[in-house]
Structure 1
């Protein structure tokens, strides 16, 4: 086994995804999820070489307790495993304009991540908690921050600037940053391989669809536009996030309907999107089950989700000029043949023709083209953000 193993941590506000990845080939030695932090039913599940494990964590456990369990009860019980680690890699959602690429973590880097916390309030503070807990568990290992926003730093000003007074950008950093950069980077490069083209000559639209979602226009291997904005709230309809809205709605709710600003923002972040429209769930699987039962609110939520997505995809023909492939990825993008079919039907102006058999077969981690031979190419590529984080981490610490 290669000694280029990286412990990858992806810390959310109430959960922690973790993996031990071979940076050379992407093999997962260990993968797992700890969830329900700060609740009585905090728990963890993991997989080692195909063998599954699970446990309940002590009530109200959070990042520190979860990482301690991962180290003491999982990693250290695999003989010789920890000795092969070269780094701990952390997914950090927002790097602002301070961080345009992955960096080895120092006290100054932690300060910078904290300074960007207002741009990703659900994510950056959690990343700092994970960094501190990992430092306590592995004080001798270098740690690396890999930023979701870094891939989007190649956007031109025509894409990233808002039509606001220019000094707000120059003095306050108010601009579009974009997220899911590691995912868009990974699938665009995999698409180039599938097309047998160099990435420097490949134009791709990548649709990362999960509880959060974004679309990215990638021209000659570089991001030129993306749907998320200064924060992860903008763009597509998501699980609980509204995506694009008229900003005057906020003022209307505050001044005329008696909402507080914090109450409105909480609603836009946590009570909107699929959950808000359907009144059922933020999980697309629940929405689809309700659609099959004829629930009209669920059908409306699904159709708005697909319509908004198709509009963004169509709009990204403008910066690309030529689309070599449309790529679906993320939990919904990889597993909902229905969403892919509906979106491609809305894009028939581009000539997309779905191959129904290929579309139905391309789920559960399978990669493949889902359109007919005489159609423009749409494909499914399972994302692997953890491998990108592992590669960047190993490259930085062994350079």
Structure 2
């Protein structure tokens, strides 16, 4: 058995698991929510025992150190020497990395060079990799890429309406993100529907602080909402989602900014739910604020509308869907948003069972007369990562 530590560092949360492989037995797991926000939430689960504490604001690096300490204090391991390998979720692999890899110093440098493709993620993930290389010296580390799942998108959905020579010369295309999650959701949906994945059309929605939507046609990814970088698609916690590109030079002139990077940073870190509401990037905060704050309500309404618009477009693009799948922090835990999205799709004949939805019922949520299944599937990126890392480790033997 190999004790594998999995690190899934996102834009607002950090999830982790300690897993015995290849048995896929989860020894301990946890999540640090509301990173870089007041009242960071730290959750740990060992067996059937769960703990939750609210602490002062933690950044990602402090969260990693806390995870390592908790591994020992909660009984996951007696010493960190028992951790035999580490697997990391990395958002952007570009065209350099089309599958999972074992990390080396030169490959870490290459990841750092891809930061433009995921400015909120890749630099953070490199920091996590380097920190764990220090804390767990000599332990092999592996990277599993979100973008790998979308390498096979058909060209008509993968590229942009720019000069084709630019597309090829500069490798400009829709790389997509959350691919680990979308792939897991598609496979799990097929299992639950008891049908071969190759026969299914699905729309998977990973809705959290980072949000993306993917159309799956005949079992294969056909289109996805994130593009060259994760700032595109639907508006997110702090990311703008799709905007007119001429906004960048327009704002540079109006705000006296000298470089486009400053504007891009604002589109990544100060926009989305936070920018529109002026309250928070966390949907839970907006629910509370919306009772008296019209901007908070507007931000929520915009989010729902953009999801509806994309899902409706994908539904026609792939010729209808067998199932719509909700996942992610919002998708799994916010029945109000789920209800609002499905209500917005009512013209397609898709309906939700209100009681099942309000109970956060994992599995099937559709009403009896719904044209498509509506599913809530808690994503398990860590399990998908563990399987990829195990395959690499087996190949090394």
Deviation readout 1:262-284 (Å, 9 max, x if unpaired): 43223211221112222221111
Q: Which residue of 2 aligns with 1:384?
A: 380
In structure 2, the partner of 1:176 is 174
Residue aligning to 2:142: 144
Structure-2 residue corresponding to 1:393: 389
- Tell me, yes or no, if the aligned pair for 1:46 and 1:54 is still in contact at 8 Å: no
Q: Is the 8 A contact 1:329 1:380 kept in 2?
A: yes
Deviations 1:198-217 (A, max 9, x none): 11222110011001100001
Match of 1:282 in 2: 281
How far has the Cα of 1:244 moved from its partner?
A: 0.6
Secondary structure at the aligned position of 2:7 is classed as strand
Determine if contact 1:215/1:313 at 8 Å carries over to the other structure. Answer: yes
Q: 1:62 to 1:274 in 2, by over 3 A?
A: closer
CA drift of 1:385 comes to 0.8
1:301 corresponds to which of 288, 299, 302: 299
CA contact (8 A) 2:12 2:209 kept: no
Please identify, of 275-284 and 73-82, the stretch whose mean Cα deviation from structure 2 is larger.
73-82
2:132 to 131, 134, 141: 134
Q: Please tell me whether the aligned partners of residues 27 and 76 of structure 2 are also in contact (alpha carbons under 8 angstroms).
A: no
Match in the other structure for 2:338: 340
Distance 2:83 2:29 in 1: 15
1:369 paired residue number:
364
Q: Give yes or no for contact 1:67–1:137 (8 Å, CA) kept in 2.
A: no
Q: 1:29 to 1:223 in 2, by over 3 A?
A: same
- Which of 221, 232, 235 aligns to 1:234? It is 232
Structure-2 residue corresponding to 1:167: 165
Residues 201-259 of structure 1: per-residue CA shift (max 9 Å, x gap): 22110011001100001122221110011111000011111101111111211124434
Q: Decide which moves more: 77-86 or 233-242.
A: 77-86
| Distance verdict in 2 for CA 1:309–1:253, change over 3 Å | same
- Distance across 2 between alignment mates of 1:108 and 1:265: 28
Note if contact 2:60-2:124 (Cα within 8 Å) is conserved in structure 1. Answer: no
Q: 2:321 aligns with which of 320, 323, 328?
A: 323
CA shift digits 1:129-161 (9 cap, x unpaired) = 222222233344322100111111110111111
- CA deviations over 1:370-396 (Å, ceiling 9, x no partner): 111221211111111111111111121
Offset of 1:176 from its aligned partner? 1.0
Name the stretch that deviates more: 385-394 or 255-264: 255-264
| 3-state SS of paired residue (1:316) | helix
Match of 1:100 in 2: 98
Task: Report matched runs for 1:124-273 at 5 Å.
Answer: 124-260=122-258, 261-273=260-272
1:123, CA displacement in angstroms?
1.3
Q: CA 1:81/1:354 → structure 2, altered by over 3 Å: closer, same or farther? A: same
Cα displacement (A) at 1:74: 2.7
CA contact (8 A) 2:40 2:54 kept: no
Relative distance call for 1:84 and 1:390 in structure 2 (3 A) is farther
Q: Which range moves more in the overlay, 343-352 or 32-41?
A: 32-41
Contact 1:19 1:28 in 2 (8 A): yes
TM-score (norm: length of structure 1)? 0.88
The CA RMSD over aligned residues, in Å, is 2.9
Task: Name which of structure 1's ranges 172-181 and 20-29 shifts more when overlaid on structure 2.
Answer: 20-29
Please tell me whether the aligned partners of residues 86 and 397 of structure 1 are also in contact (alpha carbons under 8 angstroms). Answer: no
TM-score normalised per structure 2: 0.88
Q: Which residue of 1 aligns with 2:71?
A: 74
Q: Compute the displacement of 1:115 (Å).
A: 1.8
Q: Please give the residue correspondences for 1:14-33 in structure 2 after superposition, counting only pairs within 5 Å.
A: 16-24=14-22, 26-33=24-31
Which consecutive residues of structure 2, in runs of 5 or more, have no partner in the other structure?
none
For the structure 1 residues 333 and 16, does the alpha-carbon distance in structure 2 shift closer, same or farther, using more than 3 Å as the test?
A: closer
SS of 2:151's equivalent in the other structure is: helix
Pair 1:79–1:387, CA change in 2 (3 A): closer
The answer to whether the 8 A contact 2:28-2:76 is kept is no
- Tell me how far apart the structure 2 counterparts of residues 51 and 190 of structure 1 sit (CA, whole Å): 25
